[in-house]
Amino acid sequence: MKLNKILALILAFVMVFSFAACSSDDGPAQSGDGESQGDPVTGGDEESEGRVLNVHVTAAIDSIDPALTSAGDDFEVIGQMVEGLFQCDASGAAIPGMAESYEVDPETGTWTFHLREAYWSNGDPVTADDFVYAWQRCFTIPAEYVFLFETAGIKNAAAIIAGEKDVTELGVYAADEKTFVVEFDVPCAFFDSLMFFPVFYPVNRAFAEECGELYGSAPEYYLSNGPFALSAYTPAATEFSMVKNENYWDADAVELAGLTYKVILDSQQAYLAYQNNELDVCVLSSELADLLKSDAEFLATESGYLWYMSPNVSQGGAMANVNIRKAIGKAFNKEAVCNNILRNGSVPADFCIPIGLATGPDGLDYRESSGITYNEYDVAEAQALWADGLAELGVDSVELTMIFDDEESIKLVAEFIQQELQTNLPGLTITLQPYPKKQRSDLMKAHDYDIGLCRWGPDYADPLTYLDLWTDGYTHNYGDWHSDAYMEILDKIKTVEYAVDPEARWELIKQAEQIIADESVIMPVYQNCNATLVKSDVDGIEFHSVGLNRVFKNVKVG
Amino acid sequence: MKKYILKRVLYSIVAILVLLFLLFLMLDMMPGSPFNDDKLSTEQIEALNEKYGLDDPFVVQYFRYLFSIIKGDFGVSYNIASNVPITDLLETRLPTSIRLGGQAVLLGATAGLILGLVAALKHNTIFDTIATIISVLGVSLPSYVFALALSYTLGYRLGWFPLLYDSTSPFISSVLPTVALSMFSMANIARFTRTEMLEVLRSDYMLLAESKGISGPKLIIRHALRNALIPIITVLGPLIVNTMTGSLVIEKIFSIPGIGELMVRSIQQNDYNVTIALSFIYSLMYIGIMLVVDILYGIIDPRIRLSKEDNHES
């Protein structure tokens, strides 16, 4: 009996203490003991010159392998460490990166890049073969963004994706160690700005082949040729760090000693941490953005995401009627959506190509030079169009179901639109139907819906990333809308003739946009904004609405 | 005794197998897929499904998974950390969660015991009332309320502790999450200790001990507390499990790289392999702890063991 009691006590003891005990010897990879650290609250400051910037990111990073990522945050992180042929300046325009100079053959459209004297963080030179390897690798993995090679019109890319040709037939080759040549099926007018995207970044062939599947899983399995080099990282980490890459060709321009990314899902905690100086850059939720919008450190930056309602034209009926579509597009208050519901600085959208997406040959933002707007909020006009539409259809009431992603903020927007439309358009009944994102997207791709509230984020800095949405057979032409005139213009835009004539191309793009506006192919709602707090002594963070969201290379502190 | 333990272990294994099957079935029925990026073409999704064997029939997938789990291979993550083996993900995260949970249980058990003792010994005084209020709050308020309150006061207002977990100073940065997480078990243990102690203190053998001249700490600790502890140990098991699963929210708030945070994300992103692996680990913990409790019951209370043993066996 006595033995049993002792045994019981031992077991109880083990139960309680085993959890604590087993962690003490095999805890997570840590550089030092907890107690040896200085003041935990000030965190980032280092004794060496320069400062480590603590940056908030709201979602964890899926991967830092340029070929494996698909999320905007991943792009941003990779973009701090790896540099492609071009990089973007503060305004989002393309400036030479790894390419010191380049020539474009006016006849064939072939680009020849002359790479600069640049080195990887392990001291290897960056060679043309690194680009050949990295680009071919995107097809073999395959990368989610491999379609950008097709968009770019690179020779045989489309055929390789379709499985008709081997990846070795991709139209890229290394003429010599420092000369990289890209051939085209169809030359691309915005090829330079496509080069910001990680799928086009170089990968050191010898190093990556040695790492195999481990590439990008830890600092020792990753190389950078950009401003920062990875110093601490584990897959799906909630915190990871980079240090200034002394091997970077433009290292003199980099003032920061490093970057620490902190993944914080709880925005309130992130804000408190920002107040506590544990963060230098903090992304705000809409509630906090509303509360803090008059703060001196508050910053609202446009993101390229356009939220819109997509009418399903393919099923005929009410949604196939232009007047009905216009009436619905005009009958709800977009200002109220932005200012009363979202409250994060988002702007009402009366356009189908967002602000800050692309800079034209005239040096102006596309939105400024196009000036085409439609579906402005106007209840009286909406009601007149509505009456016309009903008369054309020969009915006096319309019932529609609106589908959207099952998320709180989206739901609020949908409810508001429902209420506005039902009040302003007599005879209209809208039923709301939330779905998980994937299911909503599947239904819309199958053209099995009436109206869908959805968004589109740009894949590259050119209006075509939106205009393509309404072309025949495109997966995301949800409503299956079709116009011969529109297809004709779009086909023209993609020809060699216009690729080399940016002014004429820009005019064609405006014509295409005009058709979308006249036909009200989509009903735009708003363009998303990101609200951020940045410490007042931090200057020079470059925000972009497409490609790399934030660039820290030129940050000055002081 | 041996047979009793063997039986318990067998039950646990069956429970794990059934559980794994149910998990697999439920995930199979869940809408969506791990590859839910809008930009993926149908062909790409098909290719990815084929690559990971997600286009195979359910039964094939299940048995393949079962065999690889037996070999200790949980597969790779689909989208949380593309292509990274889940064992690699767990390597750094599991110890973090376990340490946090361990610290919280340790703190909760110690503080709860003291609180309960004080309440029982100073029965019907102001101490008792305060202890009771604390335990009622601890039981009824969810841990994230404490997490927010602690963050605001000790972290933000006073600046004593960092608000975010920092792997380079794991102790100081885990103080707030540990305290927040320990509240529930502390409150529960305090309540149990108080009730049990009151009962023991009123019992005849305490009177006997006292009349034999034993007094002071020796009386309380050796005679009262020791007897009161037995029922407390039995509630400790479920409490440990509660604490571990409670860390889902705490890990999210303090941005702690643990398995709770990973679990939430894997569910949201349909990363089946990660969800199953983590549910499996949680279940393993639960079943393991329950097994220990079961065995403890048998040892502490021979009646349970005897009633289940066959009579013709010795």
Asked whether residue A198 is domain-assigned, the answer is yes
Å between A37 CA and nearest CA of chain B? 6
Asked if the Cβ–Cβ distance from B148 to A40 is below 8 Å, we say no
Q: Say yes or no: A482 and A540 in one domain.
A: no
- Residue B237 C-alpha, separation from nearest chain A C-alpha, in angstroms: 8
Q: Residue B196: phi, psi to the nearest 5?
A: -65, -45
pLDDT score for A27? 34
Q: Which is more confident, A26 or B3?
A: B3
Output the six-digit token pair for A398. Answer: 């319309």
Domain-embedded: residue A137: yes
My answer on whether A218 and A347 are in the same domain is no
Q: What DSSP character marks residue A224?
A: -
pLDDT of residue A26 exceeding 60, the answer is no
Rounded to the nearest angstrom, the minimum Cα separation between A344 and chain B is 22
CB contact under 8 A, A239 and B166: yes
Contacts of B253 in chain A (CB under 8 A): 266, 269
- Chain A's closest residue to B160, CA to CA, is A41
pLDDT for B268: 76
At residue B307, the pLDDT reads 54
pLDDT, one tens digit per residue, over B121-147 is 888 888 888 888 888 888 888 888 888
| A359, two tokens | 């800079």
Confidence (pLDDT) at B313: 42
Residues pairing with A263 in the sheet: A57
- Among A200, A232, A26, A23, CA closest to A111: A200
Whichever domain contains A362, its CATH number is 3.10.105.10
Q: Are residues A498 and A552 in the same domain?
A: no
In a domain, A280, yes or no: no
Q: What is the pLDDT of residues B163-197, one digit of tens each?
A: 888 877 888 888 999 999 898 889 988 888 888 88
Which residue in chain A is spatially nearest to B264 when comparing CA positions?
A265
Mutate to test the interface with B, among A4, A13, A15 (most CBs of B within 10 A): A15
B/e letters for B93-110, b = 16+ CB within 10 Å, e = fewer, are bbbbbbbbbbbbbbbbbe
Looking up tokens 């409150």, which residue turns up? B187
Q: What is the CA radius of gyration of chain B?
A: 24
- Residue numbers in A near B257 (CB within 8 A): 28, 234, 236-239
CB A258 within 8 A of CB A242: yes
A526: part of which helix (H) or strand (E)?
Answer: strand A523-534
Distance between the two ends of chain B, CA-based, in angstroms?
9
> Same structural domain for residues A515 and A549?
no
**Cβ-nearest to A264 among B79, B93, B255:** B255
Q: What pLDDT does A50 receive? A: 81
> Is A318 in contact with A398 (CB distance < 8 Å)?
yes
Shared domain check, A355 and A221? no
Which residue in A24, A28, A275 is closest to B167 by CB distance?
A: A28
Residue A18 pLDDT: 43
Q: Under an 8 A CB cutoff, do A32 and B168 touch?
A: yes
Are A205 and A125 in contact by the 8 Å Cβ rule? The answer is no
What integer pLDDT is reported at residue A22 of this predicted model?
A: 39
Place of tokens 């691309």: A188
Q: Is residue A99 part of a domain?
A: yes
Asked whether the beta carbons of residue B257 and residue A22 sit closer than 8 angstroms, the reply is no
The answer to whether residues A500 and A187 touch, using CB atoms and an 8 Å cutoff, is yes
Q: Do A524 and A539 lie in a common domain?
A: no
Least confident stretch, A15-29, A46-60, A340-354 = A15-29
Burial of residue A451, with CB atoms counted within 10 A of its CB: 0-12 exposed, 13-18 middle, 19 or more buried: buried
Q: Is the pLDDT at B314 greater than 90, yes or no?
A: no
Task: Give me the residue from B37, B163, B168 closest to A144, CB to CB.
Answer: B37
In a domain, A276, yes or no: no
The verdict on a CB contact (< 8 Å) between B102 and A19 is: yes
Q: Could you tell me which chain B residue has the CA closest to the CA of A407?
A: B268
Residue-by-residue DSSP string for A75-101: HHHHHHH---SEEE-TTS-EEESSEEE
Q: Which two tokens stand for residue A447?
A: 């053209």
CATH code (residue A104): 3.90.76.10
The runs of H, that is alpha helices, within A257-336 are 267-275, 286-292, 322-330, 334-336
Secondary structure element (H or E) that encloses residue A498, with its range: helix A496-499
- Tens of pLDDT, residue by residue over B14-29, are 988 888 888 888 877 7
Tokens of B32: 């969506």
In the predicted model, is pLDDT for residue B295 greater than 50? yes
Q: pLDDT value at position A304? A: 78
Q: How far is A139 from chain B (nearest CA, A)?
A: 11
A543 and A521 in a common domain: no
Say how far apart CA B98 and CA A339 lie, in whole Å: 44
A439 and A336 together in one domain: yes
On the question of pLDDT at B244 being above 50, the answer is yes
Residue B306: band (very low, low, confident or very high) from pLDDT cuts 50, 70, 90: low
Nearest to A142 by CA among B89, B269, B274, B35: B35
The amino acid sitting at A310 is S
pLDDT value of position B40: 64
pLDDT tens profile A3-16: 455 555 555 544 44
* Percent helix, strand and coil across chain B, each to the nearest 5: 75, 0, 25
- Minimal C-alpha gap between A479 and chain B (Å): 16
Identify which of B40, B95, B162 has the shortest CB distance to residue A28.
B95
Q: How far is CA A273 from CA A41, A278, A300, B161, in A?
A: 9, 5, 20, 11
What's the whole-number mean pLDDT along residues A148-164?
90
User: Cα dist. A102→A178, A180, A192, A224, B136 in Å?
Assistant: 11, 9, 11, 23, 72
Instruction: With beta carbons under 8 A apart, name residues in chain B contacting A475.
Output: 41-42
The shortest C-alpha distance from B124 to chain A (Å) reads 31
Q: Which residues contact A50 (CB under 8 A, 6 or more apart)?
A: A244, A255, A256, A257, A258, A557
CA distance A276 to chain B (A): 6
What is the per-residue pLDDT for B245?
A: 67
Which band of pLDDT confidence, cut at 50, 70 and 90, is reported for residue A79?
Answer: very high
- Dist CA A66 CA A83 (whole Å): 11
B257 contacts A63? CB cut-off 8 A: no
- Distance, CA of A262 to CA of A281 (rounded, Å): 10
Of A30-44, A127-141, A241-255, the one with minimum mean pLDDT is A30-44
Q: Which residue has the higher pLDDT, A487 or B63?
A: A487
Are A264 and B80 inside 8 Å of each other by CB? no
Residue with tokens 């953005």: A289
Task: Return the pLDDT at A409.
Answer: 82
Is residue A33 domain-resident? Answer: no
Q: What is the pLDDT of residues B46-61, one digit of tens each?
A: 777 777 777 777 788 8
Measured between CA atoms, the residue of chain A closest to residue B253 is A266
CB contacts of B168 in chain A (<8 Å) are 30-32, 34, 37
Per-residue pLDDT at A357 exceeds 70? yes
Mean pLDDT of A390-411: 91
pLDDT band at A331 (very low <50, low <70, confident <90, very high): very high
- What pLDDT sits at residue A177? 93
User: Are A435 and A351 contained in the same domain?
Assistant: yes
- Between chain A and chain B, the number of residue pairs with CB atoms below 8 A apart is 204
Q: What are phi and psi of A359, to 5 degrees?
A: -100, 130
Q: pLDDT category, A36, cuts 50, 70, 90?
A: very low
Check whether residue A516 and residue A539 sit in a common domain: no
Residue-range definition of the domain harbouring residue A374: 302-529
Verify whether the Cβ–Cβ distance B156 to A272 is below 8 Å. Answer: yes
Q: What one-character DSSP code corresponds to residue A366?
A: H
Q: Choose the closest CB to B81 out of A63, A213, A475.
A: A63
Contacts (Cβ under 8 Å, ≥6 apart) of A363: none
Mean pLDDT of chain A: 86
- A412 pLDDT above the threshold of 80: yes
Number of H helices, E strands in chain B: 13, 0
Average pLDDT over chain B, rounded to an integer: 80
Over the stretch A158-200, which tens digit does the pLDDT of each residue have?
Answer: 999 888 999 999 999 999 999 999 999 888 888 888 898 899 9
pLDDT over 70 for what percent of chain B? 89
Cα gap A273→A287, rounded to integer Å: 17
A465 to chain B: closest CA residue = B39
pLDDT band at A398 (very low <50, low <70, confident <90, very high): very high
If you ran DSSP here, which 8-state letter would residue A342 be given? Answer: I
Interchain CB distance below 8 Å, A23 and B155: no
Q: What are phi and psi of A436, to 5 degrees?
A: -60, 150
Of A26, A40, A438, the CB nearest to B173: A40
A526 and A348 in contact (C-beta within 8 Å)? yes
pLDDT digits (tens, 9 = 90+) for A535-545: 999 999 999 88
Among all chains, which residue has been given the structure tokens 């205009």? A467
Collect contacts of A39-42 with beta carbons under 8 A, ≥24 apart: A40/B161, A40/B162, A40/B166, A40/B169, A40/B172, A40/B173, A41/A276, A41/A277, A41/A278, A41/B159, A41/B162, A42/A277
Residues A207-216 have a mean pLDDT of 90
Q: Are A169 and A162 in contact (CB under 8 A)?
A: no
- Least CA distance to B293: which residue of chain A? A12
pLDDT score of A6: 55
Residue of chain A whose Cα is closest to the Cα of B237: A15
Parallel/antiparallel/unpaired status of strands A258-263 and A239-244: antiparallel
Of the pLDDT bands very low, low, confident and very high (cuts 50, 70, 90), residue A496 is: confident
How would you list the strands of the sheet with A111-115, edge to edge? A99-104, A111-115, A179-182, A172-176
Beta-carbon contacts of B212 under 8 Å, excluding residues fewer than 6 positions away, are none
Which pLDDT score, from 0 to 100, does residue B304 have?
58
Contact residues on chain A for B173, CB-CB shorter than 8 A = 34, 40
> Is A438:B33 a contact under the CB 8 Å cutoff?
yes
B299 to chain A, closest Cα gap in Å: 6
- Domains contained in chain A, number: 2
In this structure, the answer to whether residues A150 and A239 fall within a common structural domain is: yes
Share of chain A above pLDDT 70, in %: 91
Stated pTM of the model:
0.79
CB contact under 8 A, B98 and A147: no
Residues of B in contact with A15 (CB under 8 A): 236-237, 240, 289, 292-293
CA angle B125, B131, B134 (to 5 degrees): 145
User: What is the C-alpha separation between A426 and A383, in angstroms, rounded?
Assistant: 8
Q: What angle do CA B171, B175, B177 make, to 5 degrees?
A: 120
Q: Is residue A235 part of a domain?
A: yes
| Residue A272 placed within a domain | no
DSSP state of B212: T
Q: Do B163 and A239 touch (CB under 8 A)?
A: no
A290-328 pLDDT per residue, tens = 888 888 999 888 787 899 999 999 988 899 999 999 999
Contact indicator for A351, A373 with CB cutoff of 8 Å? yes
Comparing C-alpha atoms, which of A262, A260, A304 is closest to residue A283? A262
Q: Which of A207, A337, A341 is nearest to A287 (CA)?
A: A341
Average pLDDT score over residue span A115-134? 94
Contact A239 B257 (CB under 8 A): yes
Pairing relationship of beta strands A258-263 and A398-405 according to DSSP bridges: unpaired
Do A392 and A248 share a domain, yes or no?
no
A10 in contact with B, Cβ within 8 Å: no
Write down the pLDDT at residue A133: 95
The closest alpha carbon to A67, from A211, A188, A177, belongs to: A211
Q: Which of A8, A34, A41 is opposite residue B159, by nearest beta carbon?
A: A41
